[in-house]
Structure 1
């Protein structure tokens, strides 16, 4: 049985009702909705275009200006200003304020259509309202503004409740109902229960499984002001709920997830995230964030991947025979391509081989090879062999990466080292690492049976062998020596990604051990080995065996 509780606005009678359902597991998650304040009510009027076009029998431009200003004030939250443009400012102010607050509307978008003039000289401006209801979605409907010329001159909006919404009246009001949707039971790959209490980093993820990923649900009802009787449903939010007694089976592994949660303590309070997944099929074993609550940056973050992207750059160069690991590719301190590029701590390795450039993460050496790749070639390789930029169906919302074609030589130079406009996150870079290790891309998934619409080509065995050798050398003699004391023949790549001139760099580290690939980013971590290194060391130390 549900038990509604409500808050009542005595002025307009808006009621927000929460229907509580028996909880089984999990926590109710609040989903923030960000809306853009905008109004397009006749922005082209000055040019004689759009809904305020002037012609024979057309409305007075002064009326249309007033309508445009009213809609702009309403959309912009300037309710006192909007009310002052009506024939009843006090009533308008109260109704507009209670309408948006009572229905939890933030940032309406109001779009005007073509105005008309009636025989009595009044003007009507139709408009479409898109009302974002916090945490649920947008409620869209149409209404219209009546305007009348005043005896003392000028035009005002002829105030009526129905202009806010055609069904709003002296006898009917709206009520927002939110369904208190507890997260369903969620299990790991072995059937063990996963809850937000035991695994804090999964709190945001568990809410995304609710209703099969539909998230929160609710409705806006039209009710009788006097009796509260429901007269109709204006709109509903969310999809049909998955029965709470049907657990959502995930690919997560409780042991890996627990170790990932604990490893986040090595972030020293900085924003950080990591993903661990299987190399052979892309199944996600763990994802963790610091802080644990809030934004799931592990799969939805957008970061420059820095030098971890050199795995993809190296693949592109090796695929076309543009370089071999033993070729000499000098590594100077600086290289200027429109701007000055340098290595971390301005290191240099004169006469270095390409293999040495990879293990020491030499930016200038990689940039010097930019002319050996076509303008779109890096992005083409990322998409064709690594699936980056294709649409992934992970089982929860995810950002799947972007590798734009460079706009100029400076941006092309930056893209060679994972900067410029290249965007990724730990999920993407864990997948890149897995693909480099096995040669075959597998779409990452967190629920079994997720559809896969990607299409990729396996890397040649020769390229896979070269990548694995260089990544292993990066651990034994290069910038990922932080992992050198761990067993398992680990291969890795560090990364340092510039954010801005005023902020410390982000630190990255990706690694592969056996059938597991991991990736970690630490915001403002300065270097990958120094910031992400201890996190992945902790993770891999805590779980010495690969999942079966």
Structure 2
């Protein structure tokens, strides 16, 4: 999504040929965004704070039910069980079960992500959702379920309460039981042998037991499905930790850097303004993770396991796909109109436009309509193929702790393809993924991120061509010197960056994104409900890089 910062003035002058760049072209190719006349005549766009595209026609019949389902999941996620239960058909039972489920399984900081909505022939509406349930000191239990809704006699929609809503296997005859295996957690050290503790580095509190458990020296446990009457175990739903012959008393080594970790924690506390946020910093040349920070520090690990639309930071991958095909060059004219309709009307911040802009200007100003206008230059599945083949996104990563490794599904229609070009639709990522994307873009080679250093590389990728890398570096640098990432302009060195703003829903403020690279470090930050990337996540990254001026050892 375009970043919600008004931009005026001429675009940057295209740079001349550098090492590995194509020779400058004698003529400019003009790429005109299709459908402009139709876009100017039809539809009403969202207000700037609501996102880059607007639905055509009246609300869907299930829109009210969808809002009710989202409200239920939001209240449950926030731990407001009474509020969530009040939205159901059986409030008293719902509140009791929701409380006993989280307390009995020692769950805190749950993350509930809404999914597809379907309408049944019987009049019910169902919203799929993904549940990520952090079990204290063990790890995250992930599963999928569904929120059913039915219209009541008074015409209002309510969540139709059922035990299976909480988990598909929860019923009147079966429940879950948490079993822990006692064991003293070992010391966990950073890359230089400095001891790491949750007291000094709060964001590491939920991670240290996972790291220790992965080494075979930490706490272990399991979530069992049991018969309510007899207690007989019917199935094991999740296991945490592994057994090993690791010598007792030996610290567990990590790739973390105590200096970067402390600076990342402080930057989030100072810059996130109390909002939910996450940050990852990693080494560009080998993918070793230097810092993982979350706000709030306890609970769900948004930085590594979160699932977010990456917004305009994804334009790094989109640009890579276009450059790989020689479909566009930084100096080419790619018009940036106010609107563009592809099933829905897409727009830029405050309906801004940059007539006659070069592609470099479109990138640095984060123009949605220009990127969407280039959608026919890539195949329907090509964006996902490039993301996986060159950037490792969507492959299975072995990070050292549970992680979400991204998803770029083939678009179901042209509207979704248009959204995917700007990091919306069904494209999913998190700060770990976007820090890795940034590192790959500026080095040309994907390195599987790792927290433990000895993790097995389970990916298969190929390097980006050097001329593509050179152009990506130039664009990222220009975004700092002449674009939406100017918050970093006063930092020394060749700093490059990209801002992003990602729509969440009609009634929720946008998430703010910011990615950057300097020296041998790549950083990515997301601030939930940050509204804009430059104003919310940008200062966090600025504080981090300002606090640690040099590269890690």
TM over 0.5: yes
Q: Identify if the C-alpha distance between structure 1 residues 313 and 264 changes in structure 2 by more than 3 Å, giving closer, same or farther.
A: same
Q: Measure the CA separation in 1 of the matches of 2:362 and 2:300.
A: 35
Shift of 1:347: 1.7
Larger radius of gyration: 1
Shift of 1:380: 0.4
Out of 214, 219, 241, the residue aligned to residue 212 of structure 1 is 214
Out of 340, 353, 356, the residue aligned to residue 358 of structure 2 is 353
**Mean Cα displacement is larger for which, 180-189 or 247-256?**
180-189
Q: Measure the CA separation in 2 of the matches of 1:479 and 1:259.
A: 24
User: Residue by residue, what CA displacement relative to the aligned partner does 1:212-239 show, whole Å, maximum 9, x if unpaired?
Assistant: 2666435999xxxxxxxxxxxx999853
User: Residue by residue, what CA displacement relative to the aligned partner does 1:37-72 show, whole Å, maximum 9, x if unpaired?
Assistant: 99xxxxxxxxxxxxxxxxxxxxxxxxxxxxxxxxxx
Q: Measure the CA separation in 1 of the matches of 2:430 and 2:221.
A: 32
Q: Measure the CA separation in 2 of the matches of 1:277 and 1:185.
A: 22
Compute the RMSD of aligned alpha carbons.
3.2
Q: Identify if the C-alpha distance between structure 1 residues 238 and 504 changes in structure 2 by more than 3 Å, giving closer, same or farther.
A: closer
Shift of 1:314: 0.2
Relative to the length of structure 2, the TM-score reads: 0.67
Question: What residue is the counterpart of 2:263 in the other structure?
Answer: 259
User: Residue by residue, what CA displacement relative to the aligned partner does 1:108-128 show, whole Å, maximum 9, x if unpaired?
Assistant: 5579xxxxxxxxxxxxxxxxx
Q: Identify if the C-alpha distance between structure 1 residues 109 and 293 changes in structure 2 by more than 3 Å, giving closer, same or farther.
A: closer
Question: What residue is the counterpart of 2:458 in the other structure?
Answer: 453
The equivalences for 1:134-533 within 5 A come to: 134=178, 136=179, 178-212=180-214, 216-217=219-220, 239-240=242-243, 242-265=246-269, 266-533=271-538
1:133 aligns with 2:241: no
User: Residue by residue, what CA displacement relative to the aligned partner does 1:336-387 show, whole Å, maximum 9, x if unpaired?
Assistant: 1000111123221111000000000000000000011100000000000000
Q: Identify if the C-alpha distance between structure 1 residues 367 and 35 changes in structure 2 by more than 3 Å, giving closer, same or farther.
A: closer
Q: Measure the CA separation in 1 of the matches of 2:223 and 2:306.
A: 33
Relative to the length of structure 1, the TM-score reads: 0.67
Question: What residue is the counterpart of 2:155 in the other structure?
Answer: none
Q: Measure the CA separation in 2 of the matches of 1:388 and 1:195.
A: 31
Q: Identify if the C-alpha distance between structure 1 residues 498 and 352 changes in structure 2 by more than 3 Å, giving closer, same or farther.
A: same
Q: Measure the CA separation in 2 of the matches of 1:243 and 1:187.
A: 16
Shift of 1:35: 7.2
Q: Identify if the C-alpha distance between structure 1 residues 340 and 203 changes in structure 2 by more than 3 Å, giving closer, same or farther.
A: same
Q: Measure the CA separation in 1 of the matches of 2:290 and 2:465.
A: 27
Q: Identify if the C-alpha distance between structure 1 residues 237 and 411 changes in structure 2 by more than 3 Å, giving closer, same or farther.
A: closer
Q: Identify if the C-alpha distance between structure 1 residues 383 and 218 changes in structure 2 by more than 3 Å, giving closer, same or farther.
A: closer
Q: Measure the CA separation in 2 of the matches of 1:294 and 1:364.
A: 38
Q: RCO greater where, 1 or 2, for CA within 8 Å and sep 6 or more?
A: 2
Q: Any gaps of 5 or more consecutive residues in structure 2?
A: 1-103, 105-134, 147-161, 225-234
User: Residue by residue, what CA displacement relative to the aligned partner does 1:75-105 show, whole Å, maximum 9, x if unpaired?
Assistant: 949xxxxxxxxxxxxxxxxxxxxxxxxxxx9
Q: Measure the CA separation in 2 of the matches of 1:209 and 1:264.
A: 22
User: Residue by residue, what CA displacement relative to the aligned partner does 1:239-274 show, whole Å, maximum 9, x if unpaired?
Assistant: 326555121100000000000010012100000000
Out of 511, 534, 538, the residue aligned to residue 539 of structure 2 is 534
Question: What residue is the counterpart of 1:168 in the other structure?
Answer: none
Q: Measure the CA separation in 2 of the matches of 1:273 and 1:448.
A: 22
Shift of 1:416: 0.2
Q: Measure the CA separation in 2 of the matches of 1:395 and 1:253.
A: 16
Q: Measure the CA separation in 2 of the matches of 1:34 and 1:536.
A: 30
Q: Identify if the C-alpha distance between structure 1 residues 208 and 517 changes in structure 2 by more than 3 Å, giving closer, same or farther.
A: same
Alpha carbons 1:334, 1:346 under 8 Å: kept:
yes
Q: Measure the CA separation in 1 of the matches of 2:343 and 2:401.
A: 40
Question: What residue is the counterpart of 1:125 in the other structure?
Answer: none
Q: Identify if the C-alpha distance between structure 1 residues 395 and 198 changes in structure 2 by more than 3 Å, giving closer, same or farther.
A: same
Alpha carbons 1:360, 1:479 under 8 Å: kept:
yes
Shift of 1:394: 0.5
Q: Identify if the C-alpha distance between structure 1 residues 269 and 545 changes in structure 2 by more than 3 Å, giving closer, same or farther.
A: same
User: Residue by residue, what CA displacement relative to the aligned partner does 1:300-335 show, whole Å, maximum 9, x if unpaired?
Assistant: 000000000000000000000111110000111111
Aligned length: 395
Q: Measure the CA separation in 2 of the matches of 1:477 and 1:217.
A: 51
Q: Measure the CA separation in 2 of the matches of 1:339 and 1:535.
A: 33
User: Residue by residue, what CA displacement relative to the aligned partner does 1:422-445 show, whole Å, maximum 9, x if unpaired?
Assistant: 000000000000000000000000
Q: Secondary structure at the match of 1:286?
A: strand
**Mean Cα displacement is larger for which, 516-525 or 235-244?**
235-244
Q: Any gaps of 5 or more consecutive residues in structure 1?
A: 1-15, 17-26, 39-74, 78-104, 112-128, 137-177, 222-233
Q: Identify if the C-alpha distance between structure 1 residues 393 and 32 changes in structure 2 by more than 3 Å, giving closer, same or farther.
A: closer
Shift of 1:180: 3.6
Alpha carbons 2:185, 2:219 under 8 Å: kept:
no
Q: Measure the CA separation in 2 of the matches of 1:180 and 1:523.
A: 36
Q: Measure the CA separation in 2 of the matches of 1:350 and 1:237.
A: 56
Q: Secondary structure at the match of 1:311?
A: helix
